[in-house]
Structure 1
């Protein structure tokens, strides 16, 4: 990527990298899901995908470090919308 082509690209790449960094912080996933849904976020899961439609960009900060755990939690507990079965939370 050329810095001249898109001066904000470095910031976007840094944001994506920050979201992808794993965390070891314990978290109550059920509470996180409940809080996100109360704030208007939509969480969906498929076979190997977590689809998130945040109500605001700030929600990505709380989702980012835990996305793998959220996907597994939604798949194993039948929460969120499953694209294949059409279940809703």
Structure 2
């Protein structure tokens, strides 16, 4: 079974709802929640137990015609069956 987890830090000056929307622009979670990190910082966490949750990201990569490059990059980032990569959340806030 696949587990997909997306995390995004929300700084004190950022609107948590906009950070959530940035995640939802590229990911279809089963659940999403906010954790308080203290000092005004929060962590928005979204999880899914299906690779179907990545359909929006896949479609964006296809639309930008960078699917092969992204796949090649991601394959290099796999360690012990875990893939970790980072996206710029500001760029994806505008995508929706």
| Structure 1 length-normalised TM | 0.32
Q: Which has the higher contact order (CA 8 A, sep 6+)?
A: 2
In terms of Rg, which structure is larger? 1
- TM-score scaled by length of structure 2: 0.30
Higher strand share: 2
Structure whose residues are more often helix by fraction: 1
